[in-house]
Amino acid sequence: MTVQSQASNPGHICIIMDGNGRWARQRLMPRSFGHRQGVDATRRCVEFFAGAGVDYLTLFAFSSENWKRPEEEVSNLMELFIRSLQRYTDELHEKGLRIRFIGNRDRFADKLRQQIEQTELKTVDNRGMTLIIAANYGGHWDIVNAARELATRVQDGEISIAQIDDRQFASGLALGEVPSPDLFIRTGGEQRISNFLLWQLAYTEFYFCDCLWPDFDDREMQLALDEYHRRQRRYGKTGDQVEVPPGC
């Protein structure tokens, strides 16, 4: 499928990859089967958006609330996480992708933390698309961490309270140096952001689709891009103010 011209595509896309469990249930299979199929969808997604010229792709792999799921499912997810990193890190590295992780790693087993660190280190100098994986991440956690960092800087005399502004606060977030997402996608039919990038999504375009994540293929991705291109991003201005004059 032909992708929109790279120059006009969003620079940063973030995705909640929802629907693995329901996809499996529809086929009378265990939820773990759906999660494994979801890995294949993730590979397609990374390849498609890298080819579309996207600079940053942030994927919500595991939220801080997902620990509430059944213990067996969480254990399977952690094992799948490790196996996927072991299997695909070299492939992504060869394609020039940089891989980063955001979220609280303290709760992960040593084996997973070590694999995350190895993957980040191996790809740190790559200059292709940056793939950001949010694992044990929550927007509330992110904002509280940024507030703590600012409080420490004030306490240490680095900055004054009067110097705290949007830019200073954003610098303490997990994606402090990354541009805010242009396009947010959620598969699976739900229409909420589920504690994902709460600060960063202030002016992001939202796209919700009923497609379950394992079925999110090139056609579905192109539909998301097509919808993005139909939007007019105004950032508080009027439509007339952001219209591009004919001939420009």
Q: 52 with 4: CB under 8 angstroms?
A: yes
Cα–Cα distances (Å) from 96 to 50, 90, 130, 133, 174, in that order, read: 10, 10, 9, 16, 22
Catalytic residue among 20, 40, 55, 66: 66
Alpha helices by DSSP H, listed for 156-211, are 166-171
The whole-angstrom separation of Cα 107 and Cα 100 is 18
Q: Identify whether the C-beta of residue 142 lies closer than 8 Å to the C-beta of residue 174.
A: yes
- Write down how long the chain is: 248
Q: Going by C-beta distance under 8 Å and a sequence separation of 6 or more, which residues neighbour residue 156?
A: none
Buried b (16+ CB within 10 A) or exposed e, 207-226: bbbebbbbbbeeebbbebbe
Catalytic residue among 9, 18, 136, 142: 18
From residue 23, give the alpha-carbon distance in Å to each of 19, 162, 207, 213. Answer: 6, 51, 20, 8
- Is 18 among the catalytic positions? yes
Q: Which residues are catalytic?
A: 18, 66
